[in-house]
Homo-oligomer: A and B are copies of this chain.
Amino acid sequence: MAQRPRDIPGALTAAGGRTDSTANRADATTDRADPTANRADTATTTAVAPPGAGRSPEPSRTPQTPRTHQPPRTPPTRRAPDTGRPPHGTGSAADVLARYLHQQATEFLRGLRLHGDSGHGAGGAAEEAAEAVRLLRGAARRISGTLHVFRPLAEVPWTDQFRSELAWLTETLGREYACAARLARLRGALHRLSGAAEAGSAAAPAVGAARAGALLERQLTLARTRAHSAALQALGSARFHAVADAVAVLSTDPPLDPSAHDLPAQDALPLLAEQSHRLLLEAVGTLPLAAAGLPYNAEALSHGLADAGVPAAESRQDAPWHQVRLLVRLRRYAQEVLDEQHQTEIEPGLTVRLLNAGQALDRHRDAAEAAAYAAAAARTPRIAPATAYALGVLHADQRYEVEAARFAFGRAWQRMGVAR
């Protein structure tokens, strides 16, 4: 098995990038002085603002080891070493990857700029901040994914550490929005379960549902506020600036292996994309798709009451699906690189199907997390039985959403099989 994003150990050291100044290391929470002001294309990274929007796709792997100094990567040493063969120009694997990484770095920096403009998310700028975080996270995921799928062409181990830092960033920025989305999902479910969604229904929800809603609102609002503070703190840290600087440098100096400059794109890139497809197929092969394809198989809730303490059984059951979610996404990014290679969408049908499959698994993840949250909320001390009852209904409802998402993925995957 190839390494998964979450499996990559270590971290980019704060001072290990190309940051010219190390003055704002540590846990600075204030806007730092611009240590990269001497680089035009990274000037925007200095606009530090409240954390932005999105969902948390990969568990962060904040490095546990104390940051150590690494020899700084000296930017311009790796470009097309003289191998006796003339470089392929626009046709080499390195060229294609560089173009794609450049685009993503540009998006990332656009996100940073937008975030700075949003004035810390105050007032109507909250949407702007959310959009900024969406851009930042999307670009970070694509950069990380590309460096993973095309790892044989990348400059390891630096890129592995870099990817772990990108994961930390996307997770940290996304947590606030994940809380908001979870609250919206659970609130919507309670609304629906109260029959309030029906036209002409003016019925107030029952006591239990109202209390459960208030409890979730309180807990998730608190979690969101905490996540907001944590994101603010992270955005002011040297660690964040090191990542932002490294992204900025991607534009001009992609961290690619010298061999990538010699390999024609059409030889190297489809092969590695295909390998990522194979890993995806293998992972999907371990899923219980036959059972999931039968509607109302009641599989997702089969451990709904297994253990009041920890929903470990459900987590175990969900894990392979979460894994496939990540692999679908990697495969989608790989396809984007191939599209970049051909300067056109080469398999639009595949792209759409990957997107659909991924969306089903996003829904799977969201529902699974919401269900676990409802179960956890029911363990709040001193709640009324009616509240606990409503949370039980809510938990089961979200677990059925999990099952429905698996069913939807199965359908999407069938279409994928027909297409290839």
Interface residues of A (CB under 8 A from B): 190, 192-195, 197-198, 203, 205-209, 295-296, 298, 301-309, 313, 378, 383-397, 400-401, 403-404, 407
**Closest residue on chain B to residue A191 by CB atoms:** B305
- Report which of B195, B206, B304, B385 forms a contact with A384, defined as CB distance below 8 A: B385
Q: A373–B290 Cα gap in the complex (Å)?
A: 33
Q: Nearest chain B CB to A137's CB is how many angstroms away?
A: 29
A308→B203 contact, CB < 8 A: no
Q: Please give 6 more A-B residue pairs, beta carbons under 8 A apart, in addition to A295-B407, A296-B403.
A: A193-B304, A195-B313, A296-B404, A296-B407, A378-B385, A389-B391
Contact A393-B305, Cβ < 8 Å, known A195-B313, A383-B385, A385-B387: yes
The listed residue with most B CB atoms (<10 A of its CB), out of A384, A386, A401, is: A386
Q: Nearest chain B CB to A185's CB is how many angstroms away?
A: 13
The listed residue with most B CB atoms (<10 A of its CB), out of A197, A206, A296, A383, is: A296
**Closest residue on chain B to residue A391 by CB atoms:** B389
A303→B400 contact, CB < 8 A: no
Q: A210–B397 Cα gap in the complex (Å)?
A: 21
Contact A389-B388, Cβ < 8 Å, known A301-B397, A308-B208, A407-B296: yes
Chain B residues with CB under 8 A of A306: 193-195, 203, 205-206
A392→B388 contact, CB < 8 A: yes
Q: A197–B392 Cα gap in the complex (Å)?
A: 20
Q: Nearest chain B CB to A130's CB is how many angstroms away?
A: 28
